[in-house]
Structure 1
Amino acid sequence: MTGGTLSAEDRLGACGDDFYDLLIRAHDGLDFTASAALNVRLLLILANEIGDFETLKAAVQRASEG
Structure 2
Amino acid sequence: MSLILTPNLVDPDGIYEKLIALHEGRDAADSQRVNARLILTLINHIGDRETILEAIAVAAGGKV
Give the TM-score taking structure 2 as reference length: 0.90
Per-residue displacement from partner, 1:15-46 (whole Å, max 9, x unpaired)? 11111100000100100000000000000000
Flag the structure with more relative contact order, 1 or 2, with Cα contacts below 8 A and sequence separation at least 6. 1
Percentage of matched positions with identical amino acids: 39
Higher helix share: 1
RMSD of aligned alpha carbons: 1.2
Structure 1 segments (4+ residues) deviating >3 Å: none
The count of aligned residue pairs is 62
Gaps of 5+ in 1: none
Code of the residue aligned with 1:10 in structure 2: it is P
Gaps of 5+ in 2: none
Give the TM-score taking structure 1 as reference length: 0.88
